[in-house]
Amino acid sequence: MMNQLIQNEVSKILLKKKMVLISVLLFLFIGLFSYGEKYTYDKTISRFEKITEDTSYDWKSLASQQMMELEKRLESPYIHEMGLKSIEIQIEQMKYFIENNINPITPSSARFSVDFVENAIIMFIPLMIIILASDLVSGEFSNRTIKVILTRSVPRWKVLLSKYIALLMMTTMVVLMIGAISSFVSFFFFRVWGFYEPVATGFKLINGELDANSVIMVNRMEYMVLIYSLAWFVSIAIASITFMISVLVKSTAAAIGIIMAFLIGGQFLQFFLSDWEIIKYFFVSNLNLTKYLTGAYQQIEGMSMKFSIMVLAIWSLVSIVISFVVFTRKDVLA
């Protein structure tokens, strides 16, 4: 019984051609970004060649060139404190890469697909998940098919559970699709797979300073699995929260509006009100899980990977509980 209900929900998502829409968007943006990265890399090389009149370069000379450029930017009088710290951290990392013989420059397919997720995790990936989740329940209300499915001999919690499970399955699919599409499309541009390159991860920020003592070396493939697992976790959290909103409001447009306001508003809040303690308990402030691995500059003090995962897990759980409580008691007037 449950299997067939889940099958129903999956076919509704597929019939609405949502997966097609998501793949088109992914192809479009990933194509654009990997073309862009290829373009900047080519430009870096031609600039390097122009300055040094040397065509037999290797990545190390490119990396030190880039480090010098970063140092130059530090001297700029217009730079603000946040940017300063972020650049200092980047220089420290670059030093570490050169000392330890890790190539941070040459683009590869595996590197791109990791970079893409690191950048997309706070906005682009949540958006894809919102496309999936926002009308899952509210859609049944807006086209009034809710009356048809709630008058069969199936308890309401089963109807909702099948929807949630279908959502989890499709969310997982989307994360896998991001991995596959970003690897293949970027390979088309870079012609390098790079799955076995070494990666340094586990940089820590202690009082705003980069600490390389806890760094461990893994290969790109392992790192990719790690980053995609984090992206998957974030996606599940976004899916659960959107799912709840979809249960609470009757119109899909309102559901999308509300979750988008949270996402965008949340990014604003973390930027402007970073001193305010309570902001770090808001789910949007905790979406960027991957930054804890790369040692990027953090706006809010006192947050860690463990903390963010806990916050997201609690938000997801509470969302699911609210969804079930509300849905099973709701009076259907639509």
Partner 1 sequence: MDNHVLSVNNITKRIGKKEIIKGISFRIDKGEVFGFLGPNGAGKSTTLRMIVGLLRPTSGNIAICGHSITKNFIKAMSNVGCIIEEPDLYNYATGMKNLEMLGYMSKNISRKDIMDAVELVGMEKRIGDKVSTYSRGMKQRIGLAQALLHNPKLLVLDEPTNGLDPQGIFEFREMVKDLASEKNISVLVSSHLISEIQLMCSKVSIIKDGLVVKTGAVNDLVSSSEVYWVVDNLEKGKLIMKERFKVNAKIINNRLEAVIGLNQLEMVNASLVNEGLKLKYVNSKSKTLEELFLSLTENQKIT
Binding-residue total with partner 1 (CB under 8 A): 25
Q: Could you give the CA distance from residue 284 to residue 270 in angstroms, rounded to a whole number?
A: 9
Region binding partner 1 by CB under 8 A among candidate stretches 40-48, 121-129, 207-215, 325-333? 325-333
Q: Which residue, chain included where needed, has tokens 């979750």?
A: 259
The binder of partner 1 chosen from 8, 23, 103, 299 (CB under 8 A): 8
Helical residues (DSSP H) of 121-219, grouped into ranges: 124-133, 138-142, 146-150, 156-190
259, containing H or E segment: helix 252-272
Residue with smaller CB distance to partner 1, 14 or 28: 14
* Window 268 to 307, contacts with partner 1 (CB under 8 A): none
Q: What are the φ/ψ torsions at residue 163 (nearest 5 degrees)?
A: -65, -45
* 72 vs 329, beta carbon nearer partner 1: 329
Task: Work out whether 52 is an interface residue with partner 1 (CB under 8 A).
Answer: no
Q: Between 7 and 64, name the residue whose CB sits nearer to partner 1.
A: 7
Output 164 or 228, the one with its CB closest to partner 1: 164
x/- binding map, residues 151-190, to partner 1, per CB under 8 A?
xxxxx-----------------------------------
Q: What share of the chain is helix, strand, coil (3-state, %, to 5)?
A: 70, 5, 25
- How many whole angstroms separate alpha carbon 284 and alpha carbon 268? 10
The CA distances from residue 308 to 157, 175, 240, in Å, are 29, 20, 16
Q: Cα separations (Å) of 70 from 43, 78, 91, 106, 317? A: 17, 14, 7, 18, 43
Q: Is 77 exposed, middle or buried (0-12, 13-18, 19+ CB in 10 A)?
A: exposed
CB of 159 to partner 1, least distance (A): 8
- Binding residues among 113-152 for partner 1 as defined by CB under 8 A: 143-145, 147-152
Residue closer to partner 1 by CB (options 4, 56) is 4
Minimum Å gap between C-beta 332 and partner 1 is 4
List residues near partner 1 by CB under 8 A: 1, 4-5, 7-8, 11-12, 15-16, 143-145, 147-155, 329, 331-333
